[in-house]
Amino acid sequence: MRVIHSYHNTLPADRGAAAAIGNFDGVHLGHQSVIDIARATAEQTGAPLGVLTFEPHPRAFFAPQAAAFRLMSPVARRNRLAKLGVTHLYELPFDAALAALTPEAFARDVIGHGLGLSQVVIGQDFCFGKARAGTAADLVRFGAEFGFDVSIAPLLETQGAQVSSTAIRTALSEGRPQDAAAMLGHWHRLEGAVLHGEKRGRELGFPTANMDVSGLHLPRLGVYAVQVDVLTGPHAGHYTGAASLGTRPMFGENTPNLETFLFDFQGDLYGETLSVALVDYLRPEETFASLEAFIAQMHADCDRARALLSAL
């Protein structure tokens, strides 16, 4: 997948795409339905399949001090879009200059003249341009003027509720990863490099792969049954395990991180990239009266996680 970071001086090979537009945080089923409409046009016309998105997320640009809300990092989003067959990702820097473009200027200078998109697909609630003043109907009008077709995708619902990143965040915050997965169309994953930690898990008989989760929306803290893809290195492959997402109250820590114990695994994962799928919530994080009680609970957690994962 090609990643294009500018709408200025676009290469001929990167023009003419049929592209879905949006932030695509989580790449949930609603996002996938928008991409599917663009895919149909791409297949009919022989155009590249594209996605136009922004980095940072506009919400983070306008409120940089707000609590972390993103469901996935830019790299995780790229990985997910590539799996969906997107060949051209237009990941434009969202800065003051882009934010200041009027809806007409955005349609003309970015979509039409800049990227030369042949078709764009948006959701019914799509807003664009300075102060989010442009509507889906406005983009249809501008498309006719500046040489690109516009398709409007209907909003998607599951079980009578609209699929949205907000609803997914709520499900994760409440410890309902399976409900989140039903809206995502895939397990919610936390991806990142394995960092050196205190190595307490190894001393307790449960060596864990530690990952930083800063900058992301935090699901409910606690212990999860997980599926793990090791994406790099000699141990690349698929594993199952149990993971603790939290502040490690047993040891007086206060910075959240993800510690994942891979079942039936031996090896060194430091520096490698992991994708950890939250499959089921087992229990909240706790403080135990003794290390013996803590270790006994970890054994119980792993036994329960194995049983749950083997039933999938």
Any idea which residues carry the catalytic annotation? Answer: 259
Closest CA to 113 of 130, 100, 131, 101: 101
Q: DSSP assignment of 83-151, as one string?
A: HTT--EEEEEE--HHHHT--HHHIIIIIIIIIS--SEEEEETT--BSGGG-B-HHHHHHHHHHHT-EEE
The DSSP symbol for 215 reads T
The C-alpha atoms of residue 221 and residue 106 are separated, in whole angstroms, by 41
- DSSP labels for 27-56? --HHHHHHHHHHHHHHHHHTPPEEEEEEES
Q: Which structure tokens are listed for 204?
A: 């307790």
| Three-state DSSP class for residue 294 | helix
- DSSP annotation of 17: -
Helix (H) or strand (E) holding 189: strand 188-193
Question: What is the C-alpha R_g of the chain?
Answer: 22
